[in-house]
Chain A
């Protein structure tokens, strides 16, 4: 097995980054009473898009109807949407400061760029479905859930990473 060479020197020490991330999460819970998240913002985006494109369908389909019932203020005016916009800005600033900007399609040595894009797209689809079924993704369900010591957080963490390890062997060509 030939490991890929990754230059780690430019990145922040992972434990330091972990402590910072933990403090950000703690501040989030202290101020807003809720954890960090990501997939929920995309849900708002999907619902808003469907409401704009096919309003009749949005009124009838139970998923969209449920959403508008629980989000009276309307689609995009939600905590997670604002947070994810911030993530976009924060990531951009960090890339700019550390000189990591630039269009790049990152993939393992054994596959073409096209294969990588198809795999990334498929992975996104699965994450989209899985995060809705599991009521949150790695940040919303697993990380934030573990911080507040909810059983759901630990179950999500074990299921996501356990499944990753279980499937890793079959898709090793994508990465190594």
Chain B
């Protein structure tokens, strides 16, 4: 279902939504006290940790929400914007921003809310941002190499760390709570005041911590759809034999000749093997790329039967099961005995010598099939299957 843009909500409506979201964002920032530079700077001197509290609570809340929504299948995380990691420029840019934070007492978003209520220092900060971006733009040719160095792509933190998504989310939740407790103590000590929370507030905090830990723990058991599908394939592919029917080489040849439009033939071997030779009309989706979002529309077409083949039947079976688990068309078959047998017995059927083991009819059928499939290959020659480009959302600052 989500994200609603661009399929459900158009671009102009999206801008109106941006404005409304901005109002909520600005209102909350101001209510939290982010319009005061002295409160924001308190984070670095230990007298006010409001930034840490709001920031981490917000990040953990949104993260939990996304995991739950994707687990329920309400949002496709593969379509949302993931900011790319450029290691060098991210670190150097971050260091410069940290110094800017200490000097300026704001970050860009908070300075806007502060300026909105009349803070003059925030207006000076905003003029500074404008100037800074202009300086960056003018010196861009000099720093372009730095800007584009260390590109690691749209990587995810839990993949970088090699832990499951849910485990990372749980760890971050616990870490945030620990940080809240420790910083509260530091804050009380630096401000020289007793901790003044009322018993009621304390009870509420304890309840909130309990809820957060429970949700965080549940997240461990909420793998994303893709890893869930891969898991099922890994553990249950042997049982899939009854569900996913095999198709004999002659049956496939017959279907290709008579009913080519009713089937989608998927070659899950490597691109190199596909390049060497393949069954006419086949689409090459190497097994490792089957989970890529770009193939979903193609594989979801319910007017067709999806037929998977590989060198061996095991890989074909796993691919077919994975496709079904990912929610593609459930009408699937696999080619029995694999590509090499089909290649030898049909595509390059030996027509020069008589086959004593085969019945006369079958031999005749295969001679015809070879010819007809050669025609089919020649006809399909240049055409490749059009894959509808899925629009990944662009974002970022």
Q: Contact residues of A with B, CB < 8 Å?
A: 1, 3-4, 6, 8, 11-12, 14-15, 17-40, 42-43, 45-47, 50, 61-64, 70, 73, 77, 79-80, 82-95, 98, 100-108, 116-156, 158-168, 171-172, 174-176
Contact = CB atoms under 8 A, between A and B. Distances in A.
B295 interface: no
Main secondary structure of the interface of A (DSSP, over half): helix
A144 B97 contact: no
Interface residues of B, number: 141
A34 B393 contact: yes
Contacts of B19: 82-83, 85-86, 89
The 3 tightest CB contacts between A and B, nearest first, are: A124-B128, A123-B104, A86-B22
Main secondary structure of the interface of B (DSSP, over half): helix
A120 B102 CA distance: 9
Nearest to A143: B59
11 contacts: A4-B47, A24-B25, A37-B109, A63-B136, A91-B35, A93-B27, A124-B100, A131-B93, A134-B92, A164-B99, A164-B102
Interface string B94-120: 111111111111111111111111111
Contact of A140 (B5, B58, B396): B396
A88 B27 CA distance: 9
Nearest to B126: A124
Contacts of B111: 124
Nearest to B152: A151
B30 A94 contact: yes
A149 B48 CA distance: 27
Nearest to B91: A159
B143 to A, nearest CB: 7
B22 A90 contact: yes
Given A73-B11, A125-B100, A138-B110, 7 more contacts: A61-B140, A89-B23, A90-B24, A92-B117, A119-B105, A123-B128, A128-B133
A29 B104 contact: no
Contacts of B119: 103-106
Interface of B: 2-5, 9, 11, 14-33, 35-39, 41-45, 47-48, 50, 53-63, 65-66, 69, 74-75, 77, 79-87, 89-122, 124-138, 140-141, 143-144, 146-147, 152, 154-158, 160, 165, 168-169, 180, 190-192, 205, 208, 393-397
B304 to A, nearest CB: 30
Contact of B103 (A92, A122, A143): A122
Contacts of A149: 63, 66, 156-158, 165, 168-169
B208 to A, nearest CB: 7
Given A103-B120, A140-B396, A146 B63 contact: yes
